[in-house]
Structure 1
Amino acid sequence: MKNQSNMPLYQLFVHPKDLRELKKDIWDDDPVPAVMKVNQKRLDIDIAYRGSHIRDFKKKSYHISFYQPKTFRGAREIHLNAEYKDPSMMRNKLSLDFFSELGTLSPKAEFVFLKVNGKNEGVYLELESVDEFYLAKRKLADGAVFYAVDDDANFSLMSDLERETKTSLEHGYEKKTGTEEDDFYLQDMIFKINTVPKAQFKSEVTKHMDIDKYLRWLAGIVFTSNYDGFVHNYALYRNSETGLFEVIPWDYDATWGRDIHGERMAADYVRIQGFNTLTARILDEPDFRRSYKHLLEETLQSLFTIEYMKPKIMAMYEQIRPFVLMDPYKKNDIERFDREPDVICEYIIKRADYLKSELDLLS
């Protein structure tokens, strides 16, 4: 199916017994076997539900691992996101593309139309997994990848969840790829950025973190207003050649003027200085703060403008609209979907005004 516009068709075939097993406990991460067909190509896969609170939604999101062949288009696994709470279904892709343009590593995101056992499941966002295959595709140096799986990935010695000192500095992270030595590098970075005196902080932090990339990631969160993004919704990649960590965004549907419940979010909801311990210490350094301010000013002139963003928003909207009409979970809400480009554009205007008014705080 590539009629009306360009959207690949993914067909999943799950044995009724396995489908029952999958639906029996939505919180069970154990996958069931299935077959996926893409452009006449047959793939044996394992499939499981993905996400935390999103598993409760009527339209499920899926984690797919390739079994036979072991990889497909250079990936071992993909994520199919339902984007159920975002009435535009575009915010996640809009964000990840925006990060890419800001010069941050970011997963590739593409819309696909999903059928399960012949039944329309609707429009999904295929998200690339951040792992060794992700690095290889981009010809990046080998290195460790850690997923921030909960709010303890806050770059702090204190637990956000327990409100006390962490018993392990790896709390909040799950290693996707890497060695035991990489665990030590992560612990060492978190320990140092929290304990080094102010006078030594600048020279110390540059041994652990790629500051330019960190500021670009921070700017991405601040422009898109992903409140969770500072302590969650990211992956850490340690480049083995530079020895430095970079931050990669992940799951950015609660952005561009809507929160995780799909409700309207005020344009000043996320402050210009961002959050988390590392951000506070980095922006406490005048040189870093100047670089950050300059990056924001530049982006407010170029990428984060209606002139630049609206054509992207409208192209995405026009690409997926015919398929939203075939999405059993979204087609009855088409009027709301049709209003969303205006909601996003209004957010950009108000957010830009707010950020311009706050720039002096970084002087």
Structure 2
Amino acid sequence: MKKIPYVKTTLILLAVFFILILLKNLSISTGNVQVVEPTEEIQVERNAGDEPLVEDKRVYEGHDGNQVKHVYVTVFDQKAVPDNDLTFYELNESYKEYSNLDDGPKLQILFQTGTAEGPEKNGFLKTDQSANATIELRGRSSRLEAQKSYKVRLNDNGGLWFGQSVLNLNKHADDKTRVRNKLAFDYFEEIPDLISLRTDFVQLHVKDLTDPKNDGTFEDYGLYTHIEQLNEEALAARGLNPDGHLYKAENFEFYRYPDKLKLSNDPDYDKKIFESVLKINGSENHEELLTMLDDVNDFSKPFDEVFTKYFQEDNYLTWLATNILFGNYDTMSTNYYLYSPLNSEKWYFIPWDFDKALGRDAERTDAFPDWQNGIQRYWGTVIHKRYLRDPKNIEKLNAKIEELSDIINEEATKEKIDSYYPIVKPFAVRNPDLRFLSIEASEFDHYYNNLETVTTRYKKLYEESLEYPMPIFLNHERKGNQDIFKWETSHDLQEEKLTYHFQLGTDPTFQSSIISIKDAKKFTYETDKLSPGRYYWRVLVKDEKGYTQIPFDYYKDPSKIVHWGVQEIIVPKGAKK
């Protein structure tokens, strides 16, 4: 006779039933939500992005950035490589034709490494007759310099240079010290809540076979600073998710930009237009980015909730504080990355490009607005403006600056620049770099040694900036029979009463004003149509203690003199009936 299975099955079911009852009672008695449901497990995965931005510091082990590396580039002519239909000289002049370097030309090259004596027979020297890489111009303002900066891309079968397939060779021609960018990223290696990028001193040697005068030898192009390309390889090397979202700010103030930033499946999506705001370096699925921007620009939502949902506060404060301590005036809407790992709503700030920091402003020959020196320079960007309105957040920023000052200080800076000096000085005072140096060779030490105290100066300027009202934007429009002048409300961190001085004149220095209202009661001024001509206007903001602030706007006159805080209006002939 067969055994009846029902008894065994019944016992199993009863056991399961009593276990479920026991679990339910435990949940009720403790008042806790059960954590065994699948949906809760998914929620844990979604919250993985709540973690701080932590890189694996082992990526820097064995990396000696103070050892000059020698790169040899052979530029093939069209006889050897048919695709090389322009010369190296024409490549260097191509910025005149291509305003967007992403559309600019590139040349097939042979990339080699070696010593000061010449290229060595290593993995890159499989043959001296075939191309293994390309070279192109890089940089925005640097392409206008006599000495160009270059991007070298190694072919898939061309090997890797210290684990990297892209080399960014920066000349930093307008940096009299030649070390500002390297100094910043060497500091970032020591700073938590940010990631750094490996930087190296590189001597570039070029054999230009497109030049009929070339005799087959390499020409010394002088000293360059290489910085690691932030891409999937760099993220993976730091233990970060390489398959997430990565955008480089090109002209980005955290507005929604609905006419430019669209989903990639939108019929009106244009990648070039999109990348005029944010360059895409990761996924082209922009849904998470646009959702975040919608919420950041939705003023009906409490900002604290929006910020906590999308950003990691230590990362944000560290990024902001280091830019302040380094005096990086070129980071309001550009020169940083936004990174969001896969399966995370969080967005992290990653620094990029500091050759216009660390004292570069003191070397400028043109006037420099005071709002560039402290907290005010970030007021034109939505996320900064919303975050910094809260006095508690200013206290957090102050605390972060004090915390970082234990790392970023004069003693640490001196130690770093002293280690660079024996490398940089000999290159700076000899050709080819000496030929294009913007100072006398005897002045090099003066400018170089000024680096030691710059972070102290910027910290003081930041503290002073807290007393000043915030800059505003101006807006003029002609409507019907009137000219209408509008301006934003300013903000004072001490919540003092602010007054607004409206001025309209025919010269940008306001030696004589057509209209001057020292205590404007409204944020708009209307007048009958102006007669044809050129006009200039501004609004000065003053707090109760007398601290005065100018607008963000500026006007550059025919002599290229910048008049900060001024907006020009041109009324053409025939405009007034």
* TM-score, scaled to structure 2: 0.55
Greater relative contact order, per chain length (Cα 8 Å cut-off, separation 6+): 1
Find the counterpart in structure 1 of residue 152 from structure 2. 64
Identify the residue that residue 255 of structure 2 maps to in structure 1. 156
Q: Are 1:267 and 1:354, in contact at CA under 8 Å, matched by a contact in 2?
A: no
| AA at the equivalent of 2:72 | Q
Q: Does residue 404 of structure 2 align to residue 290 of structure 1? A: no
The residue type paired with residue 50 of structure 1 is R
Give the match for residue 138 of structure 1: 238
Alpha-carbon offset, residue 323 of structure 1: 3.0
Distance 1:106 1:281 in 2: 27
> C-alpha distance in 2, partners of 1:341/1:214?
30
Counterpart amino acid of residue 449 in structure 2: D
Higher CA-based Rg: 2
**CA 1:167/1:15 → structure 2, altered by over 3 Å: closer, same or farther?**
closer
Partner of 1:249: 351
Q: Is the 8 A contact 2:373 2:462 kept in 1?
A: no
**Shift of residue 16 of structure 1?**
4.4
**Among residues 114, 131, 149, which one is paired with 2:204 in the alignment?**
114
Deviation at 1:317, TM superposition (A): 2.0
Q: 1:32 aligns with which of 97, 107, 112?
A: 107
Q: Partners in 2 of 1:204 and 1:353 — Cα distance?
A: 31
1:191 aligns with 2:294: yes
Instruction: Flag structure 2 segments of 5+ consecutive residues without an equivalent.
Output: 1-65, 79-83, 115-119, 126-131, 208-217, 263-273, 469-492, 495-577
Task: Return the alpha-carbon distance in structure 2 between the equivalents of residues 75 and 319 of structure 1.
Answer: 23
Residue in 1 that maps onto 2:458: 351
The reply on whether 1:15 has 2:76 as its aligned counterpart is yes
Answering whether residue 226 of structure 2 is matched by residue 126 of structure 1, we say yes
- 322, 326, 334: which one pairs with 2:426? 322
In 1, are the aligned partners of 2:374 and 2:461 still within 8 Å (CA)? no
Aligned to 2:184: 95
2:148 and 2:362 map into 1 onto residues whose CA distance is 16
TM-score by length of 1: 0.86
1:240 to 342, 350, 369: 342
Within 1, Cα distance between the matches of 2:358 and 2:160?
A: 34
Query: In terms of mean alpha carbon deviation, does 221-230 or 303-312 score higher?
Result: 303-312
**Among candidates 165, 172, 177, match of residue 277 of structure 2:** 172
Query: What CA distance in whole angstroms lies between the structure 2 residues aligned with 1:344 and 1:264?
Result: 20
Q: Confirm or deny: 8 A CA contact 2:373 2:465 kept in the other structure.
A: no
Q: Is 2:330 aligned against 1:228?
A: yes
**1:311-340 deviation line (CA, Å, top 9, x unaligned):** 112212223223334441236643232222
Alpha-carbon separation, structure 2, partners of 1:350 and 1:303: 16
User: Bigger CA drift: 240-249 or 127-136?
Assistant: 240-249
Residue identity (%): 25
Q: Is the 8 A contact 2:247 2:337 kept in 1?
A: yes
1:207-226 equivalences in 2 (<5 Å): 207-226=309-328
Render the CA deviation track for 1:211-234: whole Å, top value 9, x for unaligned: 211111111111111222121011
Q: Distance in 2 between matches of 1:298 and 1:91?
A: 22
Q: Which residue of 2 aligns with 1:46?
A: 134
State the one-letter code of the partner of 2:247: F
1:74 paired residue number: 163
Question: Does the C-alpha gap of structure 1 residues 208 and 154 become closer, same or farther in structure 2, counting only changes over 3 Å?
Answer: same
Partner of 1:281: 386
Other structure's SS at 1:217 match? helix
Shift of 1:97: 2.4
Find the residue that maps to 1:293 and give its secondary structure.
helix
Aligned-partner SS, 2:188: helix
Structure richer in helix, relative to its length: 1
Q: Please give the alpha-carbon distance, in whole angstroms, between the structure 1 residues aligned to 2:91 and 2:228.
A: 23
Structure 1 partner of 2:535:
none
| Cα distance, 1:350 vs structure 2 | 2.4
- The aligned residue for residue 272 of structure 1 is 375
Output the CA distance in 2 between the equivalents of 1:70 and 1:354. Answer: 47
**Residues 326, 454 of structure 2: 8 Å contact kept:** no
**Deviation for aligned residue 1:360:** 7.7
Q: Give the paired residue count.
A: 347
Determine the C-alpha separation between the residues in 2 that align with 1:154 and 1:16.
Answer: 43
Change (3 A) 1:73 1:166: same
Query: Which one-letter code corresponds to 1:13 in the other structure?
Result: T
- What letter is aligned with 1:271? G
What is the alpha-carbon distance in structure 1 between the residues aligned to residue 382 and residue 189 of structure 2? 24
- String of CA shifts for 1:10-65, please: whole Å, max 9, x gaps: 11111245424524523362211001111323261110011122112111100111
Q: Secondary structure at the match of 2:402?
A: helix
Q: Is the 8 A contact 2:167 2:226 kept in 1?
A: yes
Evaluate the alpha carbon distance shift between residue 87 and residue 234 of structure 1 in structure 2; reply closer, same or farther with a 3 A threshold.
same
Q: Distance in 2 between matches of 1:101 and 1:307?
A: 15
Deviation at 1:293, TM superposition (A): 1.6
- Are 2:212 and 1:105 aligned? no
Superposed displacement of residue 274, structure 1: 4.4
Q: Distance between the aligned counterparts of 2:456 and 2:313, measured in 1?
A: 28
Cα distance in 2 for residues equivalent to 1:237 and 1:90: 26
Deviation at 1:298, TM superposition (A): 1.9
Structure 1 residues 93 and 304, CA, compared in 2 at 3 Å: closer, same or farther? same
Residue 99 of structure 1: how far off its partner (Å): 3.5
Secondary structure at the aligned position of 1:251 is classed as coil
SS at match of 1:177: coil
Write the deviation string for residues 279-325 of structure 1: whole angstroms up to 9, x where unpaired: 1112224443332121012223x133212211112212223223334
Shift in Å, 1:124: 0.3
Identify if the C-alpha distance between structure 1 residues 36 and 327 changes in structure 2 by more than 3 Å, giving closer, same or farther.
farther
SS at match of 1:11: strand
Residue 351 of structure 1: SS of its match in structure 2?
helix
Contact persistence 2:373–2:458 (CA under 8 A): no
Give the CA deviation at 1:167. 4.2
CA–CA separation in structure 2 for the residues paired with 1:313 and 1:259 = 19
Q: 1:209 touches 1:245 (CA, 8 Å); kept in 2?
A: yes
Alignment partners' CA distance in 2, 1:258 and 1:315:
20
The CA distance in 1 between the partners of 2:344 and 2:397, in whole Å, is 22
Instruction: Confirm or deny: 8 A CA contact 2:176 2:448 kept in the other structure.
Output: no
**What is the distance in 2 between the residues matched to 1:282 and 1:81?**
34
**Structure 1's 327 and 45: CA in aligned 2 closer, same or farther, altered over 3 A?**
farther
CA contact (8 A) 1:87 1:262 kept: no
- 3-state DSSP class of the match of 1:9? strand
